[in-house]
Each structure stands twice: as structure tokens, then as C-alpha cells.
């Protein structure tokens, strides 16, 4: 709901943007997260948003471009807050509780599970390369080696995907994973949900 509210903000609603920013910072502070680091992390989206903003500005609509940047930044901050406060298994369980499509949840689960494995493999490959050749300063050569390594990693990922599928079949997988664990919906969850919804809607309604 927060993302939809942010995404549908029109121009000349900078006060609403500031209020949403304040809400997000307050939530981060309540969760004990390092706010400066969060604000810096969300800025990772800015180069991409700025590209589109420049295009909008060149097309004669700088206001729209500015809103793109602001909305992109707030959305990134909201996503960071979610990731920082909710472990992925809990997030998946929550989405299942909300009846999100099961195929999407399974994809998320596998992506998260094996992204870590692939990152470990990529790290091991990098270490092996460094151990054999040291640092290479020639950019062209570095690029070629990185491209070759990416190809090897893709082949490894494919081989692993096949091996995982075999393991799943051997353990009885027939196209459907068992239900994810159920997380109890407590009174505190309900209170948080109500407060968050009320504040989000109130800001959005005040600056239509």
C-alpha cells in the first residue's frame, strides 16, 4: 500500500514525500536500524532514476523527472526497510498468508536459497583466479576474464539447477512444495498494520 501510495503521488506533493520519508525514517529508528546507512543504501537507485529524469527533462517535463527521482528513492528506502526488518522465510510466509501466487513464492524461495550458493561459487572462482594470476590491471583483459567467468558461472548454475531438480524428484516433489510455515498473526501485528495503513492513507488523502 505504501509503494502504491508513493508511486501514485503527483507533482507538487513534495510535502507528502517529506512525510513519507519521515514515516520511513521513524520506522527504521523504531526497528533500531542505522538510518544514515539506510539513506545511503537507498541512494543506489538514484543513477537509474536520474537517467529517466533527464529524459523527462529533455522532453520538457522537468517536474515529472524530479518526481521520478523522489518516488524511486522513497520506494527503494521502503524496500530496504522491509528487507532489513523481515527475514526472507518470514516474508515468503507472510506473502503466502496474503495468498500471493504460489509459483511466485516458490521462485522467490529458490532464488534466495541458491543466490547465496551461487555467490559462494562466484567468490570461490574469484579467489581461485586471484590466486593464480594476481591482480590484473589491464581493463580489457579484466573484462574478458570476467565475461568468461560469468559464462562458467552460468553453466555451473544450470548444472546445479538440474541436480537440485533431481534431488527434489528423489524426495517426492511432484510440482508443488508443501505449505510454507505459518506465522501467527498477533495483536501487535494488527496494531502495526492499522497504524501503518492509517498514516499511509492519511498522507495520501491529504495530498491528492
Partner 1 sequence: MSLIVEVSNLSYTYEDGTQALKEIDFELEDGATIALLGANGSGKTTFVHHLNGILPGSGQPSGSIISSGSIIIDGLPMTGKNLREIRKRVGLVFQDSDNQLFMPSVLEDVTFGPLAWGMTQAEAVERAEAALDRVGLRHKADKAPWHLSAGEKKRAAIAGILATDARLLVLDEPTTFLDPPGQRALSDLLASLPQAKILVTHDSAFARGLTGEAVFFDAGTIAARGPIAAMVQRHGWQ
The binder of partner 1 chosen from 5, 19, 72, 180 (CB under 8 A)? 180
**Is there binding between residue 173 and partner 1 (CB under 8 A)?**
yes
Instruction: Write the CA distances from 111 to 142, 143, 152, integer angstroms.
Output: 28, 26, 19
Cα–Cα distance for residue pair 156/117, rounded to 1 Å: 11
User: In the range 50-79, which residues lie near partner 1 by CB under 8 A?
Assistant: none
**Is there binding between residue 174 and partner 1 (CB under 8 A)?**
yes
The binder of partner 1 chosen from 13, 92, 200, 204 (CB under 8 A)? 92
Least distance to partner 1, CB of residue 91, Å: 10
User: In the range 106-125, which residues lie near partner 1 by CB under 8 A?
Assistant: 109-110, 113-114, 116-117
Return the closest-CA partner of residue 93 out of 114, 112, 116.
112
**Is there binding between residue 94 and partner 1 (CB under 8 A)?**
no
- CA end-to-end span of the chain, whole Å? 15
Return the closest-CA partner of residue 80 out of 32, 115, 33, 116.
33
Query: Which of 188-192's residues contact partners 24+ apart within 8 Å by CB, and which partners?
Result: none
Binding site for partner 1 (CB under 8 A): 88-89, 92, 109-110, 113-114, 116-117, 160, 163-164, 166-174, 177-178, 180-181
Amino acid at each position: 500500500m505504501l509503494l502504491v501510495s508513493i508511486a501514485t503521488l503527483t507533482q507538487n506533493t513534495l510535502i507528502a514525500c517529506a512525510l513519507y520519508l519521515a514515516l520511513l525514517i521513524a520506522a527504521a529508528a523504531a526497528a533500531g536500524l542505522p538510518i544514515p546507512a539506510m539513506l545511503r543504501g537507498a541512494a543506489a537507485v538514484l543513477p537509474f532514476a536520474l537517467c529517466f529524469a533527464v529524459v523527462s527533462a529533455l522532453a520538457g517535463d522537468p517536474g515529472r523527472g524530479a518526481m521520478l527521482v523522489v518516488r524511486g528513492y522513497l520506494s527503494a528506502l521502503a524496500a530496504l526497510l522491509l528487507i532489513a526488518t523481515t527475514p526472507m522465510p518470514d516474508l515468503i510466509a507472510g506473502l503466502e498468508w496474503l495468498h500471493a501466487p504460489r509459483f511466485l513464492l516458490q521462485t522467490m524461495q529458490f532464488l534466495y536459497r541458491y543466490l547465496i550458493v551461487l555467490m559462494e561459487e562466484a567468490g570461490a572462482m574469484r579467489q581461485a583466479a586471484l590466486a593464480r594470476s594476481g591482480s590484473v590491471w589491464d581493463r580489457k583483459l579484466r573484462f574478458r576474464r570476467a565475461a568468461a567467468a560469468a559464462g562458467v558461472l552460468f553453466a555451473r548454475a544450470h548444472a546445479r539447477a538440474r541436480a537440485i531438480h533431481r534431488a527434489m524428484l528423489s524426495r517426492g516433489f511432484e510440482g508443488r512444495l508443501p505449505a510454507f510455515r505459518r506465522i501467527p498473526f498477533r495483536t501487535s501485528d494488527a496494531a502495526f498494520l492499522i497504524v501503518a495503513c492509517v498514516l499511509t492513507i492519511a498522507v495520501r488523502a491529504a495530498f491528492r
